[in-house]
């Protein structure tokens, strides 16, 4: 006798709504793992450094909001149960990043982006469409997106002041996790997107980073 739960379409929509609220409402996303920053000491930064680091962390927080939307949209329309489960598991891991970034932003005396609901909705729609096309395309989109995130994290790690080990430790762990998500998506049969598609995704990501750095 199987213990697996079978959700109706209405059940899944309610779960999606719950996840959206946990993603967008302040301090509602509870991490599964403690923040790497907990073991690091807080240091005094120059006001300009604090504002810049807060802006970078705000970008990364919005990136995690987008990841939640993407994964939840894909999970809703994934054709194979195994793919749906993988998407849901990846979304759970991204909740850690979401909570870590939000906590660090608050510690820096700043705020998360007011544009998060817009980016969540857009990402959810893209994920749902990708899942409707095929699981192979959906997984490929995950891999390409996570590759973009890794590039952003590499750029941000170069800009974080060396003494700010709290922010650095968070981004370093996120970098490890995102790279693993990309590897897992390709290993599961994801389609490798061609360079022109990746270039278009890069342009879209620049819109997100430019708009959320301050707001």
| pLDDT at 87 (0 to 100) | 72
88 is in an annotated binding site: no
38 vs 22, which has greater pLDDT?
38
Rounded to an integer, the average pLDDT of 36-65 is: 95
| pLDDT at 2 (0 to 100) | 42
Can you give the pTM of this predicted structure? 0.85
8 vs 142, which has greater pLDDT?
142
Rounded mean pLDDT of the chain?
85
94 is in an annotated binding site: yes
| pLDDT at 117 (0 to 100) | 92
Percent of the chain with pLDDT over 70: 87
Residue 3: pLDDT band (50, 70, 90) is very low
Measure the CA–CA gap between 121 and 205, rounded to whole angstroms.
15
| pLDDT at 24 (0 to 100) | 72
Summarised one tens digit per residue, pLDDT across range 186-214 is 888 888 888 777 778 888 888 889 999 98
pLDDT at 131 over 90: no
What structural domains does the chain harbor?
46-210 (1.20.1260.10)
178 is in an annotated binding site: yes
Query: How many angstroms separate the Cα of 115 from the Cα of each of 1, 186, 214?
Result: 46, 30, 11
Summarised one tens digit per residue, pLDDT across range 78-114 is 777 777 777 777 777 788 999 999 999 999 999 999 9
Residue 17: pLDDT band (50, 70, 90) is low
Q: Which residue has the tokens 């490890």?
A: 176
146 is in an annotated binding site: yes
């Amino acid at each position: 006798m199987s213990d697996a739960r079978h959700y109706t379409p209405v059940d899944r929509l309610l779960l999606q709504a719950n996840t959206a609220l946990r993603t967008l409402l302040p301090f509602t996303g509870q991490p599964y793992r403690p923040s790497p920053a907990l073991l690091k000491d807080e240091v005094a930064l120059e006001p300009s450094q604090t504002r810049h680091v807060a802006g970078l962390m705000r970008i990364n927080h919005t990136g995690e909001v987008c990841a939640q939307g993407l994964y939840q949209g894909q999970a809703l329309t994934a054709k194979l149960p195994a793919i749906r489960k993988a998407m849901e598991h990846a979304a759970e891991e991204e909740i850690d990043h979401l909570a870590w970034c939000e906590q660090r932003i608050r510690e820096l005396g700043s705020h998360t982006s007011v544009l998060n609901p817009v980016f969540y909705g857009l990402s959810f729609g893209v994920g749902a469409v990708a899942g409707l096309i095929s699981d192979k395309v959906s997984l490929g989109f995950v891999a390409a997106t996570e590759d973009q995130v890794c590039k952003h994290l590499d750029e941000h790690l170069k800009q974080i002041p060396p003494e700010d080990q709290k922010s650095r430790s968070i981004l370093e762990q996120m970098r490890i996790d995102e790279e693993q998500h990309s590897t897992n998506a390709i290993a599961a049969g994801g389609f490798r997107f061609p360079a022109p598609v990746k270039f278009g995704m890069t342009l879209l990501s620049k819109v997100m980073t430019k708009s959320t750095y301050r707001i």
